Chain A
Amino acid sequence: MGKKVLMKGNEAIGEAAIRAGCLNYFAYPITPQSEVAEYLSHRLPEVGGVFLQAESEVAVSYMIFGAAGAGARVFTTSSSPGISLMSEGLSYLAGAQLPAVFVNIMRGGPGLGGILPSQADYFQATKGGGHGDYHLLVMAPASVQEAAEMVMRAFPLAEKYRNPVIILGDGLIGQMMEPVEFPDYLKTEPTKKDEWATNGMQFRNSNKPNLVKSLFLDPNQLNENNLILKAKYERMKTEDTLFEPYNIDSPYQVLIVSYGTMSRVCKTAIDHLKENKFEVGMIRPQTLFPFPEVAVFKAASKETCKAVISIELSMGQMVEDVQRCVQGLRPVHWYGECGGNVPTPEKVMEVVKSLV
């Protein structure tokens, strides 16, 4: 770890990518994440990297495809409407098994929506967005520090699975300034890329062409490709599910499931309630896909737990995963706001207390 610096989340995300050894960035401006591009437009030339402002988010996703297909470490950042446009490319990247990192600094929707923080792209990130049977590995930071760490972790994960990874932050994570201490520079290189990347036969001393594609006209071959993808998603569940438990050893009556900025408000509410002898536990998913299914089920199973609530900056999206994991064992509730207002700890306390 280096020394602590005060940085805006968006800038920290850009710097973290460089420290992860990713020197290739293609992007299109959109609020509230444009500072990533602004930061990298001067920072990447300093380190001999590639910075290109594309003509659209659609084009960005295919510049990423081309670069990733050629074996380069590459990433982009955007916000909700932009991610919708990139979703075609995300489907192709997943189908062709290419590693790449995407960052979505979410704003409110649908449509143009607004420019303030939101978590309304949960479904889009975890359940698809593009067409076909695929998943992204979805990471959700709750601070600028964690955003930087997750970006650095995202590249090796994308390469491990040869699958796109998306960092799902909200507008506050991007815009907020916080102290951040960057982990050491990532030393690993993308491995085994000579087996699949179109990096030029002469450079890998081979006479066998590599082919990057997602078309399988033979139904058996297409099924086979989908089984390969499914096996990867199952492996993600066992090897790379991340979550943070909070006040989980207490005899809590209510279990909160919350992530990102919203989970920080929930922590404050939990602390206040604890002072009033009202115990509340929380599971904060750090990966939204794979979702911490077992952790949520176990936490909900605790004898003292009377109710579970998903608190999110959306009209009730993650709550469907929470219901799935709780399996009817406890009543599952939802509370959230959309539009850019982040609920206060007092509001969360009121909602939680009303459950029992």
Chain B
Amino acid sequence: MGKTYQKPESLSDQHTHYCPGCTHGVIHRLIAEVIDELGFRGRCVGIAPVGCAVLAYNYFTFDFQEAAHGRAPAMATGIKRVRPDLIVFTYQGDGDLASIGMGEIIHAANRGEKFTSIFVNNAVYGMTGGQMAPTTMPGQHTTTSPFGRNVEDVGMPIKMAELLAALQTPAFITRQTVIKPKYIIKAKKAIKRAFTYQLENQCFSFVELVSTCPTNWGMTPAEAVEWTENTLLGYYQLGEYKTPESISGGEDAK
């Protein structure tokens, strides 16, 4: 019997710098598997964010650009417009995409840029050491919300998938998670579908992945999975928010 499971060609041999229990590693692998399966490594360009995944390019084996904080969708726009034959994705966290880069992601989605955004939402700023993010839950303690996020003061957490799905331009918008195998299988399907839409030059595609950050949440990896499932997934509901076939978006498209 031959090998049935091996490291994707799109992943490098390097060990990641991610903390125990962090889901970046799983997401990297899913992306790499999809790129191998769809066979576009030779014309793929990834864009690394500012955040924990800034060094993502060390773990993949294809071209990469490194973004300034939040600007990855503008860079992806620049690349796709001048080289529509390249397959481009941004890999962004919640501080990057939903805070400082809100303008860039909204307008890229609204123009219907033909690239893919992988949005890793773990409800906290990771790399800078656990500060409050736009996606931090009400009451969640962070280093800049030591008494818990006060929604009277800073508003409710932003639901990016729903927000982007409200735009009228056709797109593929989905929210998944990778905390357990049953979710991982679905997440991979969503990532594959997102890249397929891009390969077919159909639309902007956006995969939000609800993720963990045990280090900055002050939890063990097991507790982090439990908290994600019981708390985050109640607010950040999984599902398909929009497909290019259903332009209306929102609840109808689920």
Residues of A at the B interface (CB closer than 8 Å) are 24, 26, 50, 52, 54-56, 58-70, 72, 74, 88-89, 92, 96, 198-203, 209-215
Given A89-B68, A209-B63, A69 contacting B104 (CB threshold 8 A): no
Q: Which of B65, B76, B106 contacts A213 (CB 8 A)?
A: B65
Question: Roughly how many angstroms separate A10 CA and B76 CA in the complex, as a whole number?
Answer: 28
Question: Roughly how many angstroms separate A68 CA and B83 CA in the complex, as a whole number?
Answer: 11
By a CB distance below 8 angstroms, the chain B residues around A209 are: 57, 60-64
By a CB distance below 8 angstroms, the chain A residues around B189 are: none
Question: Roughly how many angstroms separate A199 CA and B45 CA in the complex, as a whole number?
Answer: 8
By a CB distance below 8 angstroms, the chain A residues around B66 are: 96, 211-215
Instruction: Report yes or no: B74 in contact with A66, Cβ–Cβ below 8 A.
Output: yes
Instruction: Report yes or no: A26 in contact with B78, Cβ–Cβ below 8 A.
Output: yes
By a CB distance below 8 angstroms, the chain A residues around B67 are: 62
Stretch of B23-31, B36-44, B147-155 lying at the A interface: B36-44
Chain B residues 40 to 87 lying within 8 A of chain A, measured CB to CB, are 41-45, 47-48, 54-55, 57, 60-68, 71, 74-79, 81-83, 85-86
User: How many residues of chain B get a CB closer than 8 Å to chain A's CBs?
Assistant: 35
Instruction: Report yes or no: B83 in contact with A55, Cβ–Cβ below 8 A.
Output: no
By a CB distance below 8 angstroms, the chain B residues around A211 are: 57, 63-66
B103 at the interface (CB under 8 A from A): yes
By a CB distance below 8 angstroms, the chain A residues around B74 are: 54, 58-63, 65-66
B85 CB, min distance to chain A CBs, angstroms: 7
Instruction: Report yes or no: B107 in contact with A67, Cβ–Cβ below 8 A.
Output: no
Question: Roughly how many angstroms separate A199 CA and B65 CA in the complex, as a whole number?
Answer: 11
By a CB distance below 8 angstroms, the chain A residues around B86 are: 70, 198-200
Known: A60-B74, A96-B66. 13 other contacts (CB 8 A): A55-B103, A55-B107, A63-B81, A67-B81, A69-B79, A70-B82, A70-B83, A200-B86, A201-B63, A202-B42, A209-B61, A211-B64, A213-B48
Given A59-B103, A210-B63, A200 contacting B83 (CB threshold 8 A): yes
Instruction: Report yes or no: B75 in contact with A62, Cβ–Cβ below 8 A.
Output: yes
List 30 interface pairs A-B (beta carbons < 8 Å), by A numbering: A24-B82, A52-B81, A54-B107, A55-B107, A59-B71, A59-B74, A59-B77, A62-B104, A63-B77, A64-B78, A65-B74, A66-B65, A66-B78, A69-B65, A69-B78, A69-B79, A70-B86, A89-B71, A92-B68, A198-B79, A200-B44, A200-B45, A200-B85, A203-B42, A209-B61, A210-B64, A211-B64, A212-B66, A213-B64, A215-B66
By a CB distance below 8 angstroms, the chain A residues around B63 are: 198-201, 209-211
A344 CB, min distance to chain B CBs, angstroms: 44
Instruction: Report yes or no: B78 in contact with A200, Cβ–Cβ below 8 A.
Output: no
For A212, the closest partner residue in chain B by CB is B65
Instruction: Report yes or no: A198 in contact with B45, Cβ–Cβ below 8 A.
Output: yes
By a CB distance below 8 angstroms, the chain B residues around A200 are: 42-45, 63, 83, 85-86
For B104, the closest partner residue in chain A by CB is A59
Question: Roughly how many angstroms separate A213 CA and B64 CA in the complex, as a whole number?
Answer: 8
By a CB distance below 8 angstroms, the chain B residues around A72 are: 82-83
Instruction: Report yes or no: A66 in contact with B76, Cβ–Cβ below 8 A.
Output: yes
B100 CB, min distance to chain A CBs, angstroms: 10
By a CB distance below 8 angstroms, the chain A residues around B45 are: 70, 198, 200
For B43, the closest partner residue in chain A by CB is A200
Question: Roughly how many angstroms separate A66 CA and B63 CA in the complex, as a whole number?
Answer: 12
Instruction: Report yes or no: A50 in contact with B82, Cβ–Cβ below 8 A.
Output: yes
Question: Roughly how many angstroms separate A176 CA and B7 CA in the complex, as a whole number?
Answer: 62
Question: Roughly how many angstroms separate A76 CA and B86 CA in the complex, as a whole number?
Answer: 22
Question: Roughly how many angstroms separate A63 CA and B76 CA in the complex, as a whole number?
Answer: 7
A231 CB, min distance to chain B CBs, angstroms: 22
Question: Roughly how many angstroms separate A62 CA and B71 CA in the complex, as a whole number?
Answer: 6
Given A74-B82, A89-B68, A211-B63, A69 contacting B75 (CB threshold 8 A): yes
By a CB distance below 8 angstroms, the chain A residues around B54 are: 215
By a CB distance below 8 angstroms, the chain A residues around B68 are: 62, 88-89, 92
For B88, the closest partner residue in chain A by CB is A66
By a CB distance below 8 angstroms, the chain B residues around A50 are: 81-82
